[in-house]
Amino acid sequence: MTIDSDRFREALLEERTRVQAALENLREETAGTLSDDAGEESAYDNHPADTATETYERELDYTLEENSEHVLAAIEAALKRIEEGTYGTCSNCGKQIPEERLEALPWATLCIDCQRDLERR
């Protein structure tokens, strides 16, 4: 069975555009928040509680950004595998990854068995 990699390439490219846009939004928001805060801090006395909440929210943004970057790297790797002709093959056991799995997770590198093995360890 050969995988229709064109179909998955399109899905991956679409997802990449979406993640890149999300990352850009996130970065703009973070940059905006940072400069706003700097202005406020010099003008007013901040309540410690407010500062703590803001720090927490900013950390949440950074985690989101990290996740998005991780997904983006996985998408790039999957696109490379399509070019190399190794897309859809489990990188651990070399078996074909079922198309249903690739539809759910187009950048998957492991078949479901190997993924479960990995999670069990």
Q: Which residues of this protein are in contact with Zn ion, per CB under 5 A?
A: 90, 92-93, 111, 114
Of 13 and 93, which CB lies nearer to Zn ion in the complex structure? 93
Give the Cβ contact number of residue 96 at 10 Å: 13
Of 32 and 94, which CB lies nearer to Zn ion in the complex structure? 94
**Minimum Å distance from CB 66 to Zn ion?**
27
**Minimum Å distance from CB 74 to Zn ion?**
17
**Backbone conformation region of residue 94, classed left if phi is above 0, alpha if psi is from -120 to 50, else beta:** left
Cβ 65 vs Cβ 26: under 8 Å: yes
Question: What does the alpha-carbon distance between residue 29 and residue 45 come to, in Å, rounded to a whole number?
Answer: 23
**Minimum Å distance from CB 90 to Zn ion?**
3
Of 47 and 120, which CB lies nearer to Zn ion in the complex structure? 120
